[in-house]
Amino acid sequence: MNSIVSLIIPVYNAEKSIECCVISILEQTYNHIEVIIVNDGSTDNSEEIIYSMSKLNDNIKYVKQENSGVSVARNHGISVSSGDYIMFVDSDDWLEKDCVEKMVNVLEATNSDYCFSDWYVEKMSGTYIDYVNKAFNPVLSADLLYRFYIANRRGCAPWGKLYKRELITKNDIVFPKGLPYAEDYLFVLKYLSVAATCAYLNEPLVHYNCYQPGAGSKIRENYFELQLEIEKLKEQIVVKSTKYKTSDKELLKISKLESYVSALLYLQLLYKDFGRCYDSVKVIIKTLNNDCYMGLIKKSNLRKIEKLYAFLGLTRSVFGVTLLTLLIRNVKNLVRK
């Protein structure tokens, strides 16, 4: 087992965590690795830390770029990689010592194109184990996982997975630029659209650091517009795929339903006045009714409150959605006080 694994770490102002992250990689039980650290224009002491570590370790490849975002950084890492396989690691996360070895072993033993595992979620309140779907078999068709991801974004981060570099480069799979989040989801979806077989390791191998809020936690005024763009890019991937089936249209509609409902729920973070909230609800509900229908609610993975939002939205109850949104917002504020 001499396959080389390229571990790509995008870094932006990660002086507090990057050393722990890199050490967890250097201490892997699997020896055939190259560590590619892409400094995305950090303004803290990240560069000094990375430079010092690269001088002491020949298998660290350090590259710098002007601040261009995590997608550009990961794409840069892919372009300078030379491994048979690629793994992405976020600069504030860390790996179990046998993570790479176990993933390579199972990928090669099953002749798979993609390997994914469970992961630890590290929070101030404690640690727990999370996963994509426990119902998956140890070896499964990439088509099954691909269609799961058309309608779901669960566990869609690029880390905790092993990819074949040849599949990425041959099919020109890149992280889309300009999106503040979900770029990783679209990358994984595109990769699975050309993969054949997947391997699932039903054990946690990556520590996902949630001590600090990530990109997805930032309050965004254009949240609904971002959801529209993500759904548009997803539809392009699905329709252009050689795996495309007419039944995928239904999965895309389920995805849109869940995406638009999340945009309605998100309004709790944006507005406290009835008028502005009402106007935004009206726009979202119009799109919801153009793209979705009532029967999708039962096929979706919406929670109870989300199903209520979906029902009110699909019955065009702009007033009801607005009132419910402001009511939930006020209750949450009272609880926090």
Is the per-residue pLDDT at 217 higher than 60?
A: no
Is the per-residue pLDDT at 118 higher than 50?
A: yes
The pLDDT value given to residue 215: 47
Instruction: List pLDDT tens digits, range 73-84.
Output: 999 999 999 999
pTM of the complete model? 0.92
What average pLDDT does the structure give for the chain?
94
Is the per-residue pLDDT at 333 higher than 80?
A: no
Mean pLDDT of 255-270: 96
The one-character DSSP state at 175 is: P
Instruction: List pLDDT tens digits, range 31-47.
Output: 999 999 999 999 999 99
The pLDDT value given to residue 210: 83
Domains of the chain as residue ranges with CATH:
5-216 (3.90.550.10), 219-336 (no CATH)
Scanning the structure block, which residue is given the tokens 């998956």? 136
Binning pLDDT at 50, 70 and 90, where does residue 104 land?
very high
The answer to whether 117 and 155 are in contact (CB under 8 A) is no
In sequence order, the 6+-apart residues with CB closer than 8 A to the CB of 143 are: 243
Give the DSSP H or E segment for 266.
helix 248-270
Instruction: List pLDDT tens digits, range 126-144.
Output: 999 999 999 999 999 999 9
The pLDDT value given to residue 214: 52
The answer to whether 99 and 7 are in contact (CB under 8 A) is no
Distance CA(333)–CA(307), nearest Å, equals 23
DSSP string over 3-62: --EEEEEEESS-TTTHHHHHHHHHT-S---EEEEEEEES--SSHHHHHHHHHHH-TTEEE
Say which residue, 253 or 182, is predicted with more confidence.
253
